[in-house]
Structure 1
C-alpha cells in the first residue's frame, strides 16, 4: 500500500469560530485524523511554518520543500499538502519549480473550514472533506509531478490561478489530463537557501493606462532601493508604451542589480514576440517571461535568485531548464 505523507500548513481548512481563527496544529491533527479514509496508509505531519497563507513567503515554502525532501529520504514518495487558498497558487508553483518530477505531490485547501464553530465536529457545509479526499485519490493515481486539487479539478501546479474569492470552484489552470511538457530540475533546499530567501525582494508592477512620463517617475522611484527582481506586467501580449528615457531608466535599475522581467497582466496566454514589443525589449535588454502564469514567474524568479547573484547570470541562464 502506498504510504502518503499528509502535511498540514494551516489556512481556512483548520480554522474555527466567528470570525475564523486557526486551531493550534497539535489540536487540529487529531480532528483531521478522524475524517481520513481508513483504507489508505496516511501519516500526518505539521509543516515547519503554520500561518495564514496571506502572510506566507518564500521562506515558508522552502521549509516545506525541505520537509518533503527529508521525508523522501525516509521512503515517502506521495505527499498531500493542506494550505490556505490566498497564496495557494504561489505555493503550488514554488513546489513545482523546486521538486520537479521527483515525487508525487498534490496541494489542496478549502474555502470553508473542516470543523464547526466550536471545533467539536465537522462543519455541516464544507468543501474541506471533499477537496481532501479528491487530493488523496489524485496523489495515488496521478503520474509523478506537482498538482493542485480543488473542486474536483486536478491542475498542473505551475498554471494555477485563484479566480474567485469565495466560490468553491476557486481555481483555474491547465487540467492535469492535458499534456504539459515540463523539464523542471529538482533543487535540494539547504539552510543557506532558506536564509537567503528571507531577503528576496520581488516587485510586480502592473502597467496602468497613464502618461509615459508618470510611468518613468514610478520606475525612478525604485532607484533608491531597487528589488532583486522587477516584473513588468504589460498590456495584451506584453505591450508597453516606451521611449528612450524609460529604457534608460530600466538600464539604470539593471546596473543596480535589478533583474527586469516582462510579462503580461492578462491571466491566460503568453507574450507574442511578433508584435512591436520585440524590438524595444532587445534594446532594453530585459528578460522575457517564458512562464506558465504569474505564480510560476514568481517561483522561477525565486529559484534564479537563489542560484545566481548577478543580472548577467540571470540573462545567461534564464532559459535553462530551471
Structure 2
C-alpha cells in the first residue's frame, strides 16, 4: 500500500470559533484522523507554519517544500497539503515551480471548516471532507506533478486562480487531464533560501487607463526604494500605451537592478505583441511573461531571485523552462 503524507498548514479547513481562527495543530490532527479513510496508509504531519493563509509568504512555502523534500528521503512520494484558500493559488504555483515532477502532490482546502464552532465535532455542513476525499483519491491516480483538488475539480497547480470568495467552486484552472508542459527540474530548498526569500520584494502594478505622463510619475515614485521585480499588468495581450519619457523611466529602473516583467491583467491566456502599440517592447529589455497566471509568475520570479540573484542574470535564464 502506498504511503501518503498529509501535511496540515491551517486555513479555513482547520478553523474553529467566532471569528474563525486556526485550531492548534496538536488538537486538530486527532480530529482530522477520525475522518480519514481506513483503507489508506496516511501519516499526518504539521507544516512548519500554521497561520491564516492571507499571512503566508515565501518563507512559509519554501519551509513547506523543504519538509516535503525531507519526507521524500523517508520514501514518501504522495503528498496532500491542506492550505487556506486566500493564497492557495500562490502556494500551488510555488510548489509547482520548485518541486517540478519529483513527487505526486495535491493541495486542498475548503470554503467551510471541518469542525463546528466548538471544535468538538464535524460541522453539519462542510465541503472539507468532500474536498479531502477527492484529493486523497486524486493523489493516488494522478501522474507525478503538483495539482489542486477543489470541489470535484483536479487542476494543474500552476494555472489555478481563486474566482469566487464564497461559492464551493472557488477555483478555476487547466484541467489535470489536459496536457501542459510543466516545470521539470526540482529546486532543492536550503535554509539559506528560506532566509533570503524573506527579503524578496515584488510589486505588481495593474495598469490603469491613465495618461503615459501619470503612469511615468507613478513609476518614478518607486525609484527611491525599488523592489527586486516590478510586474506590469498590461491590457488585453499585454498592451501598454507608451511615451519616450515612460520608456526612459523603465530603462532607468532597470539600470538600478530591478527586473521588469510584462504580463496581462486578463486572468487566462498568453501575451503577445501583434499590435503596433506594443512595437516598443522588442527593444525595451523587459522580460515577457511565459507563465500561466499571476501566481505562477510570482513563483517564477521568486525562483529566479533565489537561483540567479541580480536581475541582470535573469534574462539569460528566463526561457530555460518555457511553459
**Distance in structure 1 (CA, Å) of the matches to 2:110 and 2:277:** 40
Instruction: Give the drift of 1:283.
Output: 2.5
Alignment of 1:19-168 (within 5 A): 19-168=19-168
Match of 1:263 in 2: 263
Distance 2:182 2:117 in 1: 42
Q: Corresponding residue for 1:292?
A: 292
Task: Establish whether residue 5 from structure 1 lines up as the match of residue 5 from structure 2.
Answer: yes
Deviates more, 1:118-127 or 1:175-184: 175-184
8 Å CA contact 2:97–2:183 kept in 1: the answer is no
CA distance in 1, matches of 2:284, 2:107: 38
Partner in structure 2 of residue 281 of structure 1: 281
Please name the residue that 2:208 is paired with: 208
In structure 1, the gaps of 5 or more residues are: none
Q: How far is the alpha carbon of 1:312 from its aligned partner?
A: 2.2
TM superposition score normalised by structure 2: 0.98
Q: Matched residues in 1 for 2:316 and 2:224: separation?
A: 26
Hey, what does 2:188 align to over in structure 1? Answer: 188
Whole-angstrom distance in 1 between the partners of 2:278 and 2:286: 11
SS in 1 for 2:225: coil
CA distance in 1, matches of 2:254, 2:185: 27
SS of match in other structure, 2:117: coil
C-alpha displacement of 1:310: 2.2
Deviation of 1:277 (Å): 5.3
Superposition deviation, residue 278 in structure 1: 4.5
How far 1:184 sits from its partner (Å)? 2.8
Q: Distance in 2 between matches of 1:312 and 1:18?
A: 49
Match of residue 236 from structure 2: 236
Asked whether the equivalents of residues 98 and 184 of structure 1 are also in contact (C-alpha less than 8 Å), the reply is no
TM-score of the two chains, using structure 1 as the length reference = 0.98
**Counterparts of 1:306 and 1:286, CA distance in 2:** 20
Aligned-CA RMSD value = 0.9
Displacement after TM superposition at 1:321 (Å):
1.9
Cα deviation, 1:217-259, whole Å, max 9, x if unaligned, reads 1100010011101000000000011111111111111111100
Taking the TM superposition and a 5 Å limit, the aligned residue runs for 1:245-260 are 245-260=245-260
Contact 1:238-1:277 within 8 A present in 2 as well: no
Q: Is the 8 A contact 2:5 2:45 kept in 1?
A: yes
Q: Is the 8 A contact 1:100 1:146 kept in 2?
A: yes
* 1:313 and 2:322 correspond: no
Moved more, 57-66 or 274-283: 274-283
Equivalent pairs counted in the alignment come to 322
CA distance in 2, matches of 1:11, 1:160: 17
Query: Contact between 2:78 and 2:104, CA under 8 Å: does it hold in 1?
Result: yes
- Alpha-carbon offset, residue 169 of structure 1: 0.2
* Contact residue 160 and residue 293 of structure 1 kept, 8 A: yes
1:193 shift after superposition: 0.4
Q: Secondary structure at the match of 1:233?
A: strand
Segments of 4+ moved more than 6 angstroms: none
Structure 2: gaps spanning 5 or more residues: none
Q: Is the 8 A contact 1:80 1:135 kept in 2?
A: yes
CA distance in 1, matches of 2:111, 2:184: 30
Q: Tell me how far 1:21 sits from its aligned partner.
A: 1.5
Cα separation, partners in 2 of 1:265 and 1:69, compared to 1, 3 Å: same
Distance 1:309 1:180 in 2: 28
